[in-house]
Homo-oligomer: A and B are copies of this chain.
Amino acid sequence: MEFISGVKEKEDLSIAQLLEEERIGKCVKVCGAVHSIRKSGIVQFLILRKADGLVQGVYEEGKTKFSLKGVKEGASVIASGILEKNEKAPHGVELRLSGLKILSSPKSEALPLPINKWKLKTSLEAKLNYRSISLRNLRERAKFKLQEGITRAFRDFLYSQGFTEIHTPKIGAKGAEGGANVFKLEYFHKPAVLEQSPQFYKQMMVGVFDRVFETAPVFRAEKHNTKRHLNEYTSLDFEMGYIDGFEDIMAMETGFLQYAIKLLGSEYTKELDILKITLPKADNIPAVKFADIKEAVAKEYNHTMRNPFDLEPEEETLIGRYAKEKWDSDFVFVTHYPSKKRPVYAMDDPEDTRFTLSFDLLYKGMEITTGGQRIHEYDKLIEKIEARGMSTDGMEYYLDAFKYGMPPHGGLGIGLERLTMKLCDEDNVRETTLFPRDMGRLEP
């Protein structure tokens, strides 16, 4: 028997370690996947792919004391050699190879996609079918590293604001939002659904922790087949009590965006550079009323407004353009959505009950967040449920929280993949979804 006492230092160096000045001129070991092998006269370049970037190994025919024969792209290796500076190499250093140990060699002779090209110019369909391969391309991979940064910023910022992280169930007896857009399953001979959002649960937990958040999958059986819809996505949700109004929710989201921009700008510069992304500003995000901005863009862009109580994707695009032109902002809060477009728990505006104390956040003309203040009084909630001709069936547990007291509260849900998509200037949300689920895709 033995004792395990924690993580031990490895010989394998990360790129950050290779860039430490004292390594230059020393013999180092680097693990990685063979990203490409390139011949240039009597020299061959063996490019290794590591989690944090590429490392160039230099092989000189006749001089280097091992053979590169049979080394395949996709092989996992340990390369060793003297580390030298070379401005032209990735990160400014290269390895003068003295040894190569093959850890694992691929079965196949050639890769199905040219992942070692700078831009992976292949169809989205092929990229998704070969997901485990296409993401080995540096640009494809970088998008998901930025996605990590966004999620991390969300959590870290909310921790700093006194929020508690929760884990709510995804299988339930009934969907929180009601409606037909739920996936149904059989749960030990009982009918069950996959939750469309953690809405009811996070609200119940406001009565316990005051402020809560969750970053988890949500499921929507919507029959949309568009560039912006997924049937399963990651929702960044929070809900907070003791608010003065729904402006507090917008303020908290703005704080998160500011924090995220800062975190990405400090710890994810490599990925921002790879993708040539300029971070947006979120110092001052304009907030405009639904009815007002609809009218403003109709006038400004000569757009015919079809329905005063609905916002079409084209209108979202125009609002995004308007926000950019008028206020130089990639973000814009659209507030006071029509009551009939919002779920029953949304708090109506006491000044005009056709509208709600709610908002969407648009980023470059696309909705990435829905949020608002919720009804916190039992009687008012029952009243609105009845006014809509709905039943309280399956809502008993939710209503309990209100029966026994709830503070004024509100919250929001952010679509992680959409936010990443807009940050990366992609035009299809599948480009920034690791393994998308849509009407036609269940695999991989």
A interface residue numbers (CB < 8 A to B): 1-8, 12, 14, 31, 33-34, 50-52, 72-76, 103-108, 111-112, 129-133, 135-136, 141, 144-145, 147-148, 151-152, 155, 159, 161-162, 164-173, 183-188, 190, 192, 194, 200-201, 204-205, 207-211, 216-217, 219, 221, 223, 231-232, 234, 241-242, 247, 250-252, 254-255, 258, 283-289, 292, 327, 333, 376-379, 394, 397-398, 400-408, 416, 434-437, 439-440, 442-444
Chain B, residue nearest A1 (CB): B288
The interface residues of chain B lying within 8 Å CB-to-CB of A408 are 76, 103-104
Contact A285 B401, CB 8 Å, known A217-B216, A232-B171, A377-B104: no
The answer to whether A132 and B208 touch across the interface, beta carbons within 8 angstroms, is yes
A369-B2 Cα distance, complex, nearest whole Å: 18
The interface residues of chain B lying within 8 Å CB-to-CB of A107 are 377-379, 402-404
Contact A76 B406, CB 8 Å, known A135-B205, A242-B12, A434-B167: yes
The answer to whether B286 and A1 touch across the interface, beta carbons within 8 angstroms, is yes
Contact A211 B51, CB 8 Å, known A216-B217, A435-B201, A439-B188: yes
Given contacts A4-B247, A107-B404, A129-B397, 19 further A-B pairs with CB under 8 A are A3-B286, A4-B285, A5-B284, A6-B255, A7-B161, A7-B255, A12-B242, A50-B210, A74-B405, A104-B376, A104-B406, A132-B205, A144-B209, A148-B164, A151-B167, A152-B155, A168-B435, A169-B217, A173-B442
By Cβ-Cβ distance, the 5 closest A-B pairs, closest first, are A74-B405, A397-B444, A106-B405, A76-B407, A107-B378
The answer to whether A144 and B166 touch across the interface, beta carbons within 8 angstroms, is yes
Chain B, residue nearest A188 (CB): B439
- Interface residues of chain A: helix, strand, loop or mixed (majority): mixed
The answer to whether B242 and A132 touch across the interface, beta carbons within 8 angstroms, is no
| Shortest beta-carbon distance from A68 to chain B in Å | 16
A63-B179 Cα distance, complex, nearest whole Å: 55
The answer to whether A185 and B188 touch across the interface, beta carbons within 8 angstroms, is no
The answer to whether A232 and B166 touch across the interface, beta carbons within 8 angstroms, is no
**Number of identical monomers bound together in the oligomeric complex:** 2
Could you say which of B33, B133, B188 contacts A407, with CB atoms under 8 Å apart?
B33
The answer to whether A204 and B131 touch across the interface, beta carbons within 8 angstroms, is yes
The interface residues of chain B lying within 8 Å CB-to-CB of A289 are 1
The answer to whether B217 and A405 touch across the interface, beta carbons within 8 angstroms, is no
A398-B144 Cα distance, complex, nearest whole Å: 19
The interface residues of chain B lying within 8 Å CB-to-CB of A434 are 166-169, 201, 205
The answer to whether B190 and A33 touch across the interface, beta carbons within 8 angstroms, is no
The answer to whether A165 and B185 touch across the interface, beta carbons within 8 angstroms, is no
The answer to whether A72 and B400 touch across the interface, beta carbons within 8 angstroms, is no
The answer to whether A141 and B209 touch across the interface, beta carbons within 8 angstroms, is yes
Could you say which of B144, B284, B407 contacts A31, with CB atoms under 8 Å apart?
B407
A8-B208 Cα distance, complex, nearest whole Å: 23
Contact A194 B201, CB 8 Å, known A161-B7, A435-B169, A437-B171: no
Q: Which of A3, A141, A147, A216 has the most CB of B within 10 A?
A: A3
Contact A401 B133, CB 8 Å, known A145-B164, A254-B4, A442-B187: yes
The answer to whether A165 and B186 touch across the interface, beta carbons within 8 angstroms, is no
| Shortest beta-carbon distance from A431 to chain B in Å | 15
A277-B394 Cα distance, complex, nearest whole Å: 37
Chain B, residue nearest A259 (CB): B6
| Shortest beta-carbon distance from A140 to chain B in Å | 9
The answer to whether B404 and A111 touch across the interface, beta carbons within 8 angstroms, is yes
The answer to whether A442 and B148 touch across the interface, beta carbons within 8 angstroms, is no
A131-B329 Cα distance, complex, nearest whole Å: 43
A167-B73 Cα distance, complex, nearest whole Å: 27
| Shortest beta-carbon distance from A285 to chain B in Å | 5
Could you say which of B6, B208, B397 contacts A254, with CB atoms under 8 Å apart?
B6
The interface residues of chain B lying within 8 Å CB-to-CB of A4 are 247, 250-251, 254, 284-287, 333
The interface residues of chain B lying within 8 Å CB-to-CB of A132 are 204-205, 207-208, 397-398, 400-401, 404
Chain B, residue nearest A406 (CB): B104
The answer to whether B106 and A403 touch across the interface, beta carbons within 8 angstroms, is yes
A1-B292 Cα distance, complex, nearest whole Å: 9
Chain B, residue nearest A108 (CB): B403
